[in-house]
Structure 1
Amino acid sequence: MAQASATITLPVEPGKVWQLIGGFDSLPDWLPYIPKSEVSEGGRVRRLANPDGDAIVERLEAFDNGARSYTYSILEAPFPVTGYRSTLRVVGLDGDRASRVEWSGEFTPAGVSDEAASGLFEGIYRDGLTALAATLAAAAGATS
């Protein structure tokens, strides 16, 4: 099983970060790569579309609002992996005056090396967290 992870530290209260990213259907609010999300099964399954129109279907496996984390699996996607399971978590720092956002996953590569699969998801996570920082910075600029 291969793994990937990325983290970012933000000068934003964890509650504010979680408010933006904590909804399982909220990816289009902060991740430009995912312009559309539709939920089904009472909000436990999300169907995403990437810019190429490829479907990505994910299932919410665990949600902990108090710990500000959720775990999901991929049911369908154009990625060379199986058994994908990922967690997105917001951790408070410096007395909750800042946040660390952690995005990690594990999966079994299918037709590619562990390194190639890990590199793919590390890039997705890193780009996603960079987009999150930009979204939060833009929101802070709009309110100041």
Structure 2
Amino acid sequence: MATTRASVRIPVPPERVWELIGGFGSLPDWLPYIPGSELGEGGRVRSLTNAEGGVIVERLEAFDDKARTYSYSILRAPFPVTGYLSTLTVHGDSEAGTSRVEWSGTFTPDGVGEAEAIALFRGIYADGLAALRRTLAV
């Protein structure tokens, strides 16, 4: 099983960051390469549309509003992995009024090498967190 993660420090209080990203259907609000998200099964499943029109279906596996974190699995996606589980967490930083956001995932490469699968998701996470920082800078 492979693991990767990315994190970013944002000069915004964690409550404000979580307000933006804490909803399971909120990816289009801050992630430019996911312009569409539809919730189903009482908000536990999201169908995402990427910029090319592809569909990714994910299931909410755990949610903790107080700890500002949620985990999700992939049910269907064009990614070369199986057993994918990812967690998005907003931490209060040691400096007042700032946050550290971490996006991590575990998965088993399928049809590609471990290094390639890790690079794919590390890039997705890093690009996504950079977009989040830009969104909150406005």
TM-score range, shorter chain: over 0.9
Please say if 1:26 is aligned against 2:36: no
Alignment partners' CA distance in 1, 2:95 and 2:66: 16
Q: Which residue is 2:132 aligned to? A: 132
Q: Which residue is 2:82 aligned to? A: 82
Q: Deviations over 1:59-103 (max 9, x none)?
A: 000000000000000000000000000000000013541100000
Q: Which residue is 1:6 aligned to? A: 6
Question: Which amino acid is 2:90 matched to?
Answer: V
Instruction: Name the SS of the counterpart of 1:19 in structure 2.
Output: helix
TM-score when normalising by structure 2: 0.98
Alignment partners' CA distance in 2, 1:115 and 1:95: 34
Alignment partners' CA distance in 1, 2:79 and 2:95: 39
Please say if 1:51 is aligned against 2:42: no
The alignment-based identity, stated in percent, is 64
Question: Which amino acid is 1:4 matched to?
Answer: T
Q: Which residue is 1:72 aligned to? A: 72
Q: Which residue is 1:97 aligned to? A: 97
Q: Name structure 2 gaps, 5 residues minimum.
A: none
Q: Which residue is 1:142 aligned to? A: none
Instruction: Name the SS of the counterpart of 2:5 in structure 1.
Output: strand
| Matched residue count | 138
Structure 1 runs of 4+ aligned residues shifted over 3 Å read none
Question: Which amino acid is 1:71 matched to?
Answer: S
Alignment partners' CA distance in 2, 1:46 and 1:79: 16
Question: Which amino acid is 2:19 matched to?
Answer: Q
TM-score when normalising by structure 1: 0.94
Alignment partners' CA distance in 1, 2:68 and 2:84: 21
Instruction: Name the SS of the counterpart of 1:24 in structure 2.
Output: coil
Contact 1:14 1:96 in 2 (8 A): no
